[in-house]
Chain A
Amino acid sequence: EAGVVQSPRYKIIEKKQPVAFWCNPISGHNTLYWYLQNLGQGPELLIRYENEEAVDDSQLPKDRFSAERLKGVDSTLKIQPAELGDSAVYLCASSPREDGGELFFGEGSRLTVL
Chain B
Amino acid sequence: GENVEQHPSTLSVQEGDSAVIKCTYSDSASNYFPWYKQELGKRPQLIIDIRSNVGEKKDQRIAVTLNKTAKHFSLHITETQPEDSAVYFCAARDSARQLTFGSGTQLTVLP
Q: Which residues of A contact B (CB under 8 A)?
A: 4, 33, 40-45, 48, 56, 91, 98-103, 105-108
**B44 — which chain A residues lie within 8 A by C-beta?**
43, 91, 103, 105
Pair count A-B, CB < 8 A = 50
Least Cβ–Cβ distance between A91 and chain B, in angstroms: 7
Q: Is the CB of A43 within 8 A of B46?
A: no
- Knowing A100-B32, A100-B93 are in contact, say whether A42-B42 is a contact too (CB < 8 A): no
Annotate B78-111 by CB proximity to A: 1 below 8 A, 0 otherwise: 0000000000010101001111111110000000
Q: Interface SS of chain B: helix, strand, loop or mixed?
A: strand
- Knowing A102-B46, A105-B43, A105-B45 are in contact, say whether A44-B96 is a contact too (CB < 8 A): no
> What is the bound-complex CA distance between A100 and B2, given in angstroms?
15
**A106 — which chain B residues lie within 8 A by C-beta?**
43
Q: Count residues of B near A (Cβ-Cβ below 8 Å).
A: 22
Closest to A56 in B: B98
**A108 — which chain B residues lie within 8 A by C-beta?**
43
**A4 — which chain B residues lie within 8 A by C-beta?**
43
Q: Is the CB of A41 within 8 A of B103?
A: yes
Least Cβ–Cβ distance between B49 and chain A, in angstroms: 7
Q: Is the CB of B99 within 8 A of A42?
A: no
Q: Is the CB of B97 within 8 A of A102?
A: no
Q: Is the CB of A40 within 8 A of B104?
A: yes
